[in-house]
Amino acid sequence: MSDRAGSLAGLKVIDLSRVLGGPFCTQILGDHGAEVLKIEPPGGDETRSWGPPFVEGTAPYFTGVNRNKKSVVLDFSQSASRELLRRLLADADVLVENFKIGTLARWGLGDDVLCQSFPRLIHCRITGFGADGPLGGLPGYDAIIQAMSGIMSVNGEADGGPLRVGLPVVDMVTGLNAALGIMLALHDRDRTGKGQFVEAALYDSGLSLLHPHAANYFATGKAPVRTGNSHPNIAPYSLFATATCPIFVAAGNDGQFRKLCDMIAAPEIGSAPRFSTNAQRVENRDALHAALERALSRFDGAELARDLIAAGVPCGPLLGVAEALAHPHATHRDMIVNIGSYRGVGSPIKLSRTPASYRQPPPRFDADGRSDTDKA
């Protein structure tokens, strides 16, 4: 644990967001030193109840994205709470929220009011589809965007149906985009002295993830198809069975492919004309996969993966979540956070002088209500 202040020390963030995209964004800011005040409705952030499992009555879904924050409960149906929010915003740098379009305006805090009353404020809104357009104002959910953005259509086995990616990738990337947008706006404020409105929409983020499928489609006009674990543009780039555990091989060029074949004592695969270039390997993907698995069946997967990557052939064993979190390199990279009884995944952003720090576990519901509201 670092005791350094962090690159965002002194930044005050009012977090009105709930569920995942917004809380993930503000946890990033908090990890790097920002003071984050999470304001929850009387019923709490609903992810507190998204279990089992539960730890001391709170679901890990909540604790996974809400460390380094304080919690205060406000009921914005009450004028006193709305006035308190105004006082909190008076010296805040950033406001993050994911209310339905028009909610803040009904409380007397529409975009025009925020801009006039708090000209240096960075107001970040996370939405499903943005405020206008054919789908403007509609609520957004990760799985719905995965379905509507094309992500599910390219995820799954070739002979199977579309599959949701097994983690909330759209929500989390939207949180990353929100954090990036906030940092861009803060940089501009340093230059101009003016805040601005930042929007990160799940729909936009979902479409932005379509590489290389969108690029391929723009180039050819052909709709992408599901290729399972295989890459649409590169071969071999897939999961392969061995004598023990499956391994993922990602040989991105001809030299890596030939080295792979030499190291598994199958030079005849590397020299076969139908596998001589990447384009030919993609064209003959199924035959290549079968030939490689026959050769790989003689090897221990974990040992071979270690030898291949050490030799410059990208390769890794298939690990479960428990194995991945227990890997010595995860500990070495400070990717496991321990604060008392709390355990979480660390920040992947590494800064040399002002690294992330883990100062507070996720807050209990309204844990800071009295002290922070008294200050305001």
d(CA 100, CA 364): 26
Cα three-residue angle 134-140-145, rounded to 5 degrees: 85
Q: Is 110 exposed, middle or buried (0-12, 13-18, 19+ CB in 10 A)?
A: middle
Check 123, 231, 329, 332 and give the catalytic one: 231
d(CA 358, CA 163): 35
φ/ψ (deg, to 5) at 142: -50, -55
Kindly report whether the peptide bond that precedes residue 168 is cis, defined as omega within 30 degrees of 0.
no
Q: Structure tokens of 200? A: 């990160």
Long-range pairs for 212-216 at CB < 8 Å and ≥24 separation? 213/150, 213/154, 214/150
Helix (H) or strand (E) holding 173: helix 169-192
The answer to whether residue 187 is catalytic is: no
Helix (H) or strand (E) holding 199: strand 197-201
d(CA 3, CA 356): 9
Q: Is 104 exposed, middle or buried (0-12, 13-18, 19+ CB in 10 A)?
A: buried
Which residues does residue 240 pair with via DSSP β-bridges, in sequence order? 247
Cα three-residue angle 23-24-25, rounded to 5 degrees: 90
The SS3 assignment for 139 reads: coil
Active-site residues, by number, are 231
